[in-house]
Structures are given as structure tokens and as C-alpha cells.
Structure 1
Amino acid sequence: MVFTGNEIITLQFGHYSNFIGTHWWNCQEAGFEYIPDTPSEINHDVLFREGQTSRGEVTYTPRLLLVDLKGSLGCLTEEGRLYGVTPGADATLPLWPPDKVTVQTQASEPKNEFLQDLEQAETLASPLPNELKESGKAVPKLYHLDNDVKSWSDFLRPHLHPRSINLVQEYQHEDPSLPFDTFPQGQDIWRKPRFSEELTDRVRLYLEETDNLQGFQVLMDSQDGFSGLGCSALQYLRDEYPSKVCLCLPCQPPQASPLALHKVLNLSLALSSLAELSSLFCPISGTTSGWRDLGKSVQLPFLQYKSDLYYHTSAVVAAAVDSMSLVYRLRAEPERLADLTARLGMYGRRAAALSVMLPFPLRVDATLLDALERWEGPLTHPLTPLTDLQTGVWQQTLVLRGVPESRLMRADQRNMSSSNPAYSCRSLAHLLQTFLQFDSQTTVHTKVITAENKLPTSAPFPHLFLQHISQDGLLQDTSRPSYTGVEKVPVLAGLHSCQSLGHSLETLHSEAKRINIRSLHQFASAGLESLELLESLEQLLCLSELYSDHQMDF
């Protein structure tokens, strides 16, 4: 087994977080490059691990622990499909002799066309099939999965290690008679030794494989029982591994109607806990208003997606997360997770905002300078509720991917004699920093990271892009052929510490404070006292006040 150092363990809690995570792992695997003697731009060893099956076959799987409810896996087994172990067996232990075992099988869910092709490609050790068009051109096969995806497992591309999947057996997925939908329910699951001891053992096993673990990145559903379960796990990580960093992404899935009162309380309890337990947390929602009245879905100018489909909205979030995480995944001069969280979480401001421009609008015949000179409106669109990135941004990191240095500016632009400082820039990062310096006078510090790798958006990424986005993700005047999808795109993503986060957190505090906890029997019966809730809300209010005007000392 090969160790490289700077590893990170990923944990995912909840069905929507697993949708996001699945897109994220798909994008990473689609970006693998197999070029002898040429290291890839991205160091995949940060989030992936090398292993070996009992048959001596080398494997490469995410260093991942995910949690979901019983009945949520669709056609996937709890052990995954990589090692071919008997369901329930530990892949690290020898199997019983076949004549001593009685196997009871259960009919599995039917596989969609993508999973069938993926299974066949793995059997034949070949890539996914192409389609031959009338023009004689072979193009990647298009899959239309909007009506087929019921679970995140319906579009999972990479193999998972048998220890990755952890199911909450006490609750059934989508069971209205016994929903897993309150913060205390999640805390109660963690108190059960069967669950917590198994999960913590698996964390320890991953940690023992690493050379120099940086810490943990945690995705968690923030408005149901997984909010309490995720925060309980974070409490364990903080107690057991106090020197390790915890970057947390609490996720709010799309919802057409206003949130029920108990979900607002879940959100409030989760974020107030994360203010203490995480090194940095970034609330994520695909809506403009939030928290209770979610408002419209975030509108990105070059996308057309269905805001009611987890499959679609999670792809947008995953594109932002994958691009933002390049900060600590690049092979050349990566920023350590501890440095990133410390810089953006200065002065106790542990909440940050995530934003994205998907795709970054670069025309097929244009340079970055051309794009910025024609730019109108915000550079990126926030995925964190009630945040304004036009003013009051103190610290931010931006990642521009998929634009090569050769696209900086044309030769005639480079040789122009002008008072415009943009013409003297000699790198993409310098040009973008210069643009931001004049675009926003309130930004104290901006760090720009660039990478040539575009975001892979091949199957099973959903078809979100408008027709005038080319197969390579560039803007063009003509529509791409109907039989071709968008294979990869440039992206601009950002992580920001900004004043509007104070207003966002204060709004959540105000909405939660109006709720009478005694009217919600789910919380009262779980033993959550009014005083305990008030203390949590006070902590949330104190965090929001760190973003006020009089706290802007740098």
C-alpha cells in the first residue's frame, strides 16, 4: 500500500449529501489521467486510497464513510460491488467455506441503462460505449436519467470500499410513519454503541492507513435527523483528534414549500453546534432566500436545471465543491486544509459562503482578458443563503479551472501601452486579482488559484447546459449537435468570509426564536429543554455578531 501524506477523510451524512458526494466522486474519477511518467495536475491521493482485494487486485477508492437510512441504496448493496464479498461479510476477514454457508438473496432493484453499460464495461475492461452517428462520427453515448434516478446509487460511478457505507437500521428511507427528521433523533442514534462504535472503528482504520492526515471534510444534511447525527460524529472527532481540521458543509436540499418549524430548529441547532465543533463550516442551499422561506432556486445564466430534482441541484453544488477543493488537492503548492480554514475563519468567524459560476463564460475564440472586459454582474453566484458577495467581503479564495495560461490575453493586448494595469498582468491569477481589486473595494484579501483541468461533466452528470455551450464547455454562437453532450467545462468557484453572513445567521436565529418548542412534541419527547434551545440560539446570535460593522478589524 502506497502512502503519500496530506490525506483527508471524507464523511457524508444524509441522502442529499450523498447525492452531492456521488457527483463529486464521479467528477474526480472521470478526471483520472493515466499518462506514464507525467504526474497529474491533481493529487488524487489526498481523497482516494490504494488497497488490495483478497485476490491481490489493486484498488483505488475514496477514503470515504457515508451514512444513510435503511432502504436508501436502491440496486447497491451495503458492501458495494468492488470486492464481491458475501453481503454482511467483512472484506478484511477470510470467508467461511462455501459448504458451510447458506445464502439468502433478496431481489435487487433494476439497474438503469447507465449502470448496465457501466457493469458491462467493467466486465470487458473497456470504456463506456460510444454511439456512431449518421455522419460517421463516434461520440460518447448520452444518457437521460432524470426519470430513472431515485437514489444516489443510481448514478454512482466509482467503486466504494466495503467499509464506506453505514446504514441507520432503526429508520427506513422515506417512511412517513416514522420519519428521521429531528436533531435529537440523530443524537440518539449516535448514543447506540452498535452504530457509533462501528463508525469510529472505521475512522480509525482509515487513519491508520495514512502518513499525515490533515483532517476531515464532512457533508451533512442540515434539516433532518442527520443534522444531529453529523454533529454528534463531529463532537467525537473533535474530542478524539483535537489537532485535526474539520471542514463542514451543512447542506439544505431543495424544497418547494416553506420549511416546517421542526426543520428550522434542526438547522439552528446544527449551525450553532458547528460554530463550536468545526474549524470552518459553509452552509449550502440552492435557493436565494433561505432559511424557512427558501425563495427561488439560484439562477445560473448558462444552465437550465430542474430545481425539484436532487439529481440536478446536487450536481451544481458538487461542481462548486469539487472546484473549490482544488485548493488543497493540487499537486503543485497546495494549501493545507488547516491554513485555508484558519485564514477564512479569522477572529472566530467560522461560517463561510460558497459560490460558483458554472460554466465560466469563456468564448471559443476569446481570452480571459476579453471575458473580464465584457463582464456584467457578479463574478460568481452564492450557494449560501442570504449572502451578498458584491460588498463587505473580507477574505476569499477563488479557484479558476479550465482556462490555460495561453488564454491570458492576445499578443496585441499584451503589447498595448495603456494605463490599464490589466495589460501588465502576466498570469491568470494576477489578472483575476487585478480585476477584483477594482471591482470590489471592500475585499481585504483575495487568493486566486488556477488549474488547467476542466471539470469533467460526462455521463452520468445531468444535461444542464444550454445548447450554445460547446462540447468543451465554451460559449459559441451556434448550438452544439443534439447528439452531443458537454464533456467538460471551465468553472470559477469561491469561498468567502463576508459581512452578509452575519445577516444570514441573524435571520435564522430570529426565525427559530419565534418557535415554541413545547408545540413540537418531537423535540420535547426527546428531552430537549427550552433552556438548552435558548443557549444554542444565543450561540448562533453571538456568531452572527462577529460579522457586524464594529467587528471589521483587520
Structure 2
Amino acid sequence: MTTREICSLQFGHYSNFIGAHWWNLQEFSFSFTPDDYSEINNRVLYREGLTLKGQPTYTPRVLLVDLKGSLNTLAEHGELYDTSSSPKENEIPWHPNRIEVKEDVKKPKSEFLQDLDSGPSTTVNKNYNFETNVKVWSDCLYTRFHPNTINVIKEYEHNNQDAGFDLFMQGKQMWKTEKFEDDFSDKIRNFVEECDSLQGFHVILDGNNGFSGLGSNCIEHLKDDYDRKSVLAIPVLPSYYNDYSNETDEEQRTSQIKDSIRVINSALSFTDLAESSSLFVPLCTSKDGWRQPGLKREFNHVQYNDKLMYHTSAILASALDTITLKYRLREGHYSLSDLCADLNLHNRKLAAASLCLPFSFNEGADLIECLDNWDGPLTQSITPRCTIGTDRMMQLITLRGIPEDRLKKPYDKAGTQKDLPAYRCKNVNEMLNFYMSCTTFGTATNVTNISKDVQSIPILAGLHSCNEISATIESLHTEAKKIKVERLPQFTSTGLEKDEYKECLEKLLDLKECYEENYLL
């Protein structure tokens, strides 16, 4: 069977936090026992290779971008292929009196990374204080990368409050430099040429800083060079920013200006993604997302700190890992292009995402009872300003972690179960489809069930193309329209014209119209 590969791209610090969790999830689910059959085809996202010493490697087919100072102790070219060593004084063909050896002060690795160097088995069943110790995404990274994977922008420094990579137009300009227009494009091509049958690209990008512009230009490049391949773009928004910890009036004013900048970046990003991506899905664990992220989304039985990227990115990574399973299976012919075609009808390029974490399933219970007793919607929206409805939509629902033997009780032990209409369903897919048909109206639902166990909890996630997305776009347009871009020299100095911004706002309204019911009649 031909592997239908996907190339993944990550732009920005929060995107790389999500990526770190996502790749960790992949590797923790790998099966190394020949008799343990996996429904998931790991080759879709991973590639085989060899080190310079001929040792086999299995690494994600991913390229990521971040700023100087964002890697902490992680080597820029990874560790699998590292053969470098410090030269000895007697090996340097210079006069000894003219040699001065200076050694960089190496940052100490966290306990987790030290144990990981000793062997992955040392990290099993050991508790680490990640909430305190994880400062950047590489502090919790289990996965080992290909030497081309990490790309560092040296012109900007991570967490530099005075000269940050904060503007959409900065990212657009960065793409036009030699490092990206040539070098990064070549790295994409190298990965693509290794593939037997490329499905397309996953692109996770920070949605409201300079990486939104860099990622948008990269997607335009993908559209030009790989026009027959699908691009699923995931603009992501943190639910907290460091500048919210202000103590003085001046700090508060600066924070408000940064909020306006983030709104403009999101608006520019959305209009670009609507034109160049096959489908884009904004994600945030907070309800509002734009000027102020707002209240955090509540998930039953989950406690998390919405101020920690480590926590919120783990939730979004769990959603992405589940949503994308449909076209990463060994069996079946559903592809990334099928997903995009199902959800972007009538130019509805923006889709909403939802998550049920965990999918509440009591010990000893059956799915039929669980669904019969369910109160309210199955999932919680993780797209800003979007409350997903129940009528007139296209949706893809994926449930993982419910084995078929937990569907219902045998007939002789079923009791009142056999009085329920759903008892005639023969498998999890059929029962979940039946539930959706009873709880939605005029809706086409594509259901997938993965019975493979997850280590602790079942998860249900969805993608939705629905009329309610109109409110998402309108809310962003309303916030963006309030801002006089000509009063922000940061944007005018990087080339954003007043008329260009006005056109962006008009394009947002055009996108909004695609979700109006009368537009489809």
C-alpha cells in the first residue's frame, strides 16, 4: 500500500509548543511489538533516514521556525546527527601563544531532558514538575528531529519586548530574504521529493504576530509550487500574553497597543489564508481570542492553567492529533483533499473545531447508555467567538479510545438497553452516526472511530463548517474596523497602507457572506 505522506510546517513559539506535544503524542503511541496491530499509519507524518554513521532514524517530516533564544538547550541541528567535537589545542595549526580557547557556558538541562539522554525508559512513571520547569517548548520535547527541521530567525530574539517579531508585515518581509525564499523552500522540496504520494501540508502558525505573515507567505509558495496538493492551515492564538502582567499605567497602555497590533495581524492573516490555503481552522482555548482572549473554555474533569502555554498547547495538540486521524489510517481511502473538499464548499475556507476532553465514559459503561444519558452538546468549541450549532452543517467527528466490545451489552444481558432504537446499531461508527442524525438537522456527518486505546482517556473531536462561523468573522471584523492603522507607525513603517487594510476588512466581509444561509440559496 502506498503511503500518502504529509509534510508539516510550524511557524512560531506557540505553534511549536503545540507541535512538541503533538510529536510527543505520536511517539508515545508507537507500537514496537509485531503482533500489536496499529490502525494508524505513522509513515504519513514520519520519515526514515540514516545518520552519518549509518544508524537508522525515524523522525517527523516537519520544518519549524522560531526566534533566537527560543531553543534553550536544544541543538539547532538536532542531536541524532551531531558528530561535532571541540578541537584540541595540538590539532590547531597555529602558534600556541596565539591560541585562546573560549568555551560557551552551556545551559543546564532539565531533569526530564537529562533522563531522556540516558534513555527513554528512565522517564517512565516518573513525575516531573513541568509547570514550573518548562519555559520554552523544547523543555518538554521527547521527539528527536532531522537536522534540517529547526530553523532559527537570528534577526529577532525570543521575548524581546523592545524589538519583537510582532508584525504581520515583518513576517512577509522575512520570507523574501534568501534564508526563506531559497533555503527554506529547498528544505520543503527535499522532504517532498522523498515522498511516494504526497497528500499535502499541515501548517501550524502563530495567528497574531510576525509568524502569521511568514506562514501566510509560505502557504502562498506552496500554492504556487504544489498547486495540486492540499494545505490545512491552523492559525493558533494563546489565551494569555506576558504583557498582561502590567503594573503601571504606561505598561497598561503598551499592552492595549499590543492588543490592537494582534487584532490587525489576525485580520490580515485570515484574509491571506482564505485566499491561499485549502482550509484553515483557528484554534484557541479561550472564548474570545481577539483583543482580549477572554474566559477560558471549560472541559469536564480537566483543570488547566490558561496562563501556561504548556497546558493550553497540550489541549490543542490533543484535538489536532484526533481530528487528523481520518486520513492517517492504514485502511481506508479518505485523504486530506477529501477533508478540505467536504468542508470548504461554496468557498467556506474557514472551519471551526471542537473537542470533548475527556469523552466521559464511566468504567463498566456502554456507549449506548453514555449517549442516551448525554446532556447538551457532545463537544466544546475551540475556535474563537464560535458556538457550534446543530443545524445545516458539514462536519467530521472522530472518536478514539472506545473499543467495539463497549458498544452495548449482549442481548441476553441487555435489559432496558434493547428497548432503545440505537440497540440495533452494530458498531461504534453506526451508533455515533445515529446519535448525530437524532441531534442535528440538515447536517452531513462523517464519523470515524479509532478503537486503539489511549493511555488514560477517550477523546472526541470535530471539524465543522456551519453558519455560526459568520459570527466568528464578524467579531474579528468589528474589532479590526475600530483600529486606525495609520495611527500605528509600526505598520506604516513596514509597508502596510491604509487602502490595503481597508481592502482586508472588505475581504473579511466577503468571507462572512459565504456563511449566510441566503448566500447558498
Structure-1-length-normalised TM-score: 0.86
2:368/2:417 contact within 8 Å kept? no
- For 1:27 and 1:417, the matched residues in 2 are separated by 36
2:171/2:210 contact within 8 Å kept? yes
> In the alignment, is residue 240 of structure 1 matched against residue 225 of structure 2?
yes
- Residue 544 of structure 1 aligns with an amino acid whose one-letter code is K
1:400/1:450 contact within 8 Å kept? yes
- Residue 304 of structure 1 aligns with an amino acid whose one-letter code is Q
Of 468, 472, 483, the match for 1:500: 468
Q: State the match for 1:86 in structure 2.
A: 84
SS where residue 29 of structure 1 aligns? helix
2:262/2:290 contact within 8 Å kept? no
Q: State the match for 2:180 in structure 1.
A: 195
> In the alignment, is residue 9 of structure 1 matched against residue 7 of structure 2?
yes
- Residue 372 of structure 1 aligns with an amino acid whose one-letter code is L
SS where residue 269 of structure 1 aligns? helix
Q: State the match for 2:44 in structure 1.
A: 46
Q: State the match for 2:516 in structure 1.
A: 548
> In the alignment, is residue 407 of structure 1 matched against residue 401 of structure 2?
no
- For 1:118 and 1:33, the matched residues in 2 are separated by 19
Alignment of 1:135-214 (within 5 A): 140-214=125-199
Q: Shift of the alpha carbon at 1:169?
A: 1.1
1:397/1:496 contact within 8 Å kept? yes
Q: Shift of the alpha carbon at 1:416?
A: 6.2
Larger CA deviation: 142-151 vs 397-406: 142-151
1:253/1:285 contact within 8 Å kept? yes
Alignment of 1:454-493 (within 5 A): 454-455=453-454, 487-493=455-461
Q: State the match for 1:536 in structure 2.
A: 504
1:250-297 superposed Cα distances (whole Å, 9 cap, x missing partner):
001112657611110000000010000100000111111232232201
Q: State the match for 1:76 in structure 2.
A: 74
SS where residue 132 of structure 2 aligns? coil
- For 1:87 and 1:542, the matched residues in 2 are separated by 57
2:389/2:468 contact within 8 Å kept? no
2:40/2:325 contact within 8 Å kept? yes
Q: State the match for 2:335 in structure 1.
A: 336
- For 1:211 and 1:108, the matched residues in 2 are separated by 41
2:467/2:516 contact within 8 Å kept? yes
Q: State the match for 1:437 in structure 2.
A: 437
2:400/2:460 contact within 8 Å kept? yes
- For 2:275 and 2:422, the matched residues in 1 are separated by 42
SS where residue 128 of structure 1 aligns? helix
- Residue 202 of structure 2 aligns with an amino acid whose one-letter code is Q
Structure 2 CA distance for partners of 1:375 and 1:197, relative to 1, 3 Å: same
Q: State the match for 2:122 in structure 1.
A: 128
1:331-384 superposed Cα distances (whole Å, 9 cap, x missing partner):
111520001111011110010011111111111110111111221121000100
Structure 2 CA distance for partners of 1:83 and 1:170, relative to 1, 3 Å: same
Q: Shift of the alpha carbon at 1:5?
A: 2.6
- For 1:165 and 1:11, the matched residues in 2 are separated by 10
1:145-185 superposed Cα distances (whole Å, 9 cap, x missing partner):
10000010001001000000001111011111201100000
- For 1:230 and 1:267, the matched residues in 2 are separated by 12
1:48/1:61 contact within 8 Å kept? yes
Q: Shift of the alpha carbon at 1:440?
A: 1.8
- For 2:366 and 2:425, the matched residues in 1 are separated by 13
- Residue 249 of structure 1 aligns with an amino acid whose one-letter code is I
- For 1:489 and 1:454, the matched residues in 2 are separated by 8
- For 1:445 and 1:37, the matched residues in 2 are separated by 37
Q: Shift of the alpha carbon at 1:415?
A: 7.7
Q: Shift of the alpha carbon at 1:15?
A: 0.0
- Residue 397 of structure 1 aligns with an amino acid whose one-letter code is L
SS where residue 133 of structure 2 aligns? coil
- For 1:454 and 1:530, the matched residues in 2 are separated by 53
1:184-225 superposed Cα distances (whole Å, 9 cap, x missing partner):
000111111133311101001101111111111000001100
Question: How many residues get paired?
Answer: 498
Q: State the match for 1:58 in structure 2.
A: 56
2:237/2:289 contact within 8 Å kept? no
SS where residue 119 of structure 2 aligns? helix
Larger CA deviation: 532-541 vs 412-421: 412-421
- For 1:77 and 1:105, the matched residues in 2 are separated by 16
- For 1:104 and 1:239, the matched residues in 2 are separated by 47
- For 1:356 and 1:14, the matched residues in 2 are separated by 23
Q: Shift of the alpha carbon at 1:511?
A: 1.2
2:69/2:157 contact within 8 Å kept? yes
SS where residue 81 of structure 1 aligns? coil
Q: State the match for 2:368 in structure 1.
A: 369
Alignment of 1:213-224 (within 5 A): 213-224=198-209
Q: State the match for 1:520 in structure 2.
A: 488
Larger CA deviation: 504-513 vs 385-394: 385-394
Q: Shift of the alpha carbon at 1:390?
A: 2.9
Larger CA deviation: 198-207 vs 28-37: 28-37
Q: State the match for 1:353 in structure 2.
A: 352
SS where residue 55 of structure 1 aligns? coil
1:328/1:335 contact within 8 Å kept? yes
Q: Shift of the alpha carbon at 1:39?
A: 4.2
1:216/1:245 contact within 8 Å kept? yes
SS where residue 217 of structure 1 aligns? strand
- Residue 31 of structure 2 aligns with an amino acid whose one-letter code is E
SS where residue 489 of structure 1 aligns? coil
Structure 2 CA distance for partners of 1:347 and 1:418, relative to 1, 3 Å: same
Structure 2 CA distance for partners of 1:106 and 1:331, relative to 1, 3 Å: same
Identity of aligned residues (%): 42
Q: State the match for 1:118 in structure 2.
A: 116
1:168/1:195 contact within 8 Å kept? no
- For 1:380 and 1:449, the matched residues in 2 are separated by 15
Structure 2: unaligned runs, 5 residues or longer? 245-255
- Residue 4 of structure 2 aligns with an amino acid whose one-letter code is N
> In the alignment, is residue 398 of structure 1 matched against residue 397 of structure 2?
yes
2:38/2:452 contact within 8 Å kept? no
1:357/1:379 contact within 8 Å kept? yes
Q: State the match for 1:228 in structure 2.
A: 213
- Residue 446 of structure 1 aligns with an amino acid whose one-letter code is T
Of 29, 32, 35, the match for 2:30: 32
Structure 2 CA distance for partners of 1:193 and 1:85, relative to 1, 3 Å: same
1:454/1:491 contact within 8 Å kept? no
Q: Which has the higher helix share?
A: 2
- Residue 353 of structure 2 aligns with an amino acid whose one-letter code is L
1:459-479 superposed Cα distances (whole Å, 9 cap, x missing partner):
xxxxxxxxxxxxxxxxxxxxx
- For 1:379 and 1:37, the matched residues in 2 are separated by 34
1:382-420 superposed Cα distances (whole Å, 9 cap, x missing partner):
100121223335100000000000000111476869674
CA RMSD in angstroms, aligned pairs only? 2.2
> In the alignment, is residue 380 of structure 1 matched against residue 375 of structure 2?
no
Structure 2 CA distance for partners of 1:87 and 1:454, relative to 1, 3 Å: farther
- Residue 517 of structure 2 aligns with an amino acid whose one-letter code is D
SS where residue 448 of structure 1 aligns? strand
Q: Shift of the alpha carbon at 1:510?
A: 1.6
